[in-house]
Amino acid sequence: MSELYGAIEAGGTKFVCAVSDKEMNILKRVKIPTTVPEETMAEVFKFFDENPVCAMGIGSFGPIDVNKKSKTYGYITTTPKKGWANYNFLGEMKKHYDIPYVWTTDVNVAAYGELKLGAAKNNESCVYLTVGTGMGGGAVVNGKVLEGFGHPEMGHITMRRHPDDKYEGYCIYHKDCLEGLTCGPAVEARAGGVKAYDIPKDAKDWEIEAYYLAQACMAYTLILSPEKIIFGGGVSKQEQLFPMIRKSFAEQMNGYVKTPDLDDYIVHVELGDDAGITGCLLLAINAAR
Ligand code: ADP
Ligand code: ZN
């Protein structure tokens, strides 16, 4: 029996599959474009046929069904991505490999990776937020990824509008929810089509972005009291955002909750693009025990 552990970070653009030993040394890794399930999954099976593992952690784009009591547990549910809606992802994996699995969201596995080996090391809780093509969040609470009847959809909370923001919002369900106001495409649409990395660092756009992200941090602070709030994703590469988010957070919180020092509380992802894969592997190792 294999003593190796598997990870799949299933994203809307690409899948990353990896295999590690129990010390978390990554021995093999492959990137597969997310096209249609038949094509993408054929590559996934090819990789794990060649690199057998004894347990696997999967962090998937979604929404997904994580409710073990549900008939569609393990499915990707309502995605607009062609072919993936109502796709029995975990079921297909189980048909190929009869091993223990952990199945949760891409952001939950990233939160778990950051908690154990990244920015939230030596804590029991954190929130991980990604601001990229979309905007979403996952959390670890008391050492466990946060799920209930389903999984959190932190990107779609209702926002108080910035008084100077006239942009209508990008979310196809809610228009000006958190994702609709802050994801990369929203930033670019607000700026009249300028690429996010070309918007000047001192533009008002970043103040507006920081205002909304701070508002989100306040909501998650009030609801979850995490020990850290960690930002990943393309938009969070704009480092000037961090002091602006902290300042706006302090203003909006207005002294009500005494948080850890904001420089240590609202931080950038430490594991970078490896947060998700790291979380998947750690969860796979747990599952094998
Ligand atoms: P994905 O969400 O697909 O995994 P990213 O997190 O890189 O990928 O998100 C892509 C989005 O992030 C794009 O909409 C782009 O506008 C934005 N983005 C990528 N790099 C940067 C950057 N350096 N600065 C600001 N925005 C960026
Ligand atoms: Zn929304």
Cα 185 to Cα 191, 192, 220, distances in angstroms: 10, 11, 23
Instruction: For residue 244, give the amino acid letter.
Output: M
**How does pLDDT run across 158-168, given as a tens digit for each residue?**
999 999 999 99
Q: Which residues make up the environment of ion ligand 2, defined by Cβ < 5 Å? A: 156, 171, 173-174, 177
Q: 279 lies in a domain?
A: no
* Distance in Å, CA 234 to ligand 1 centroid: 3
Positions in the chain whose pLDDT score sits under 70: none
Same domain, 84 and 154: no
Same domain, 58 and 135: no
**Number of structural domains, the chain?**
2
**How does pLDDT run across 156-203, given as a tens digit for each residue?**
999 999 999 999 999 999 999 999 999 999 999 999 999 999 999 999
Q: 186 lies in a domain?
A: yes
pLDDT at 122: 97
Q: Using CB atoms within 10 A of its CB, is residue 81 exposed (0-12), middle (13-18) or buried (19+)?
A: middle
pLDDT at 1: 75
Ligand 1 atom at shortest distance from the alpha carbon of 188: 16
Q: 277 lies in a domain?
A: no
The total of other beta-carbon atoms located within 10 Å of residue 237's CB is 16
Same domain, 19 and 91: yes
Q: 201 lies in a domain?
A: yes
The residue whose CB lies within 8 Å of the most ligand 1 atoms, and thus the one to mutate among 16, 235, 244, 268, is: 235
Q: 135 lies in a domain?
A: yes
Q: pTM, whole model, 2 decimals?
A: 0.97
CATH code of residue 162: 3.30.420.40
**CA 42 to CA 31: how far, in whole Å?**
13
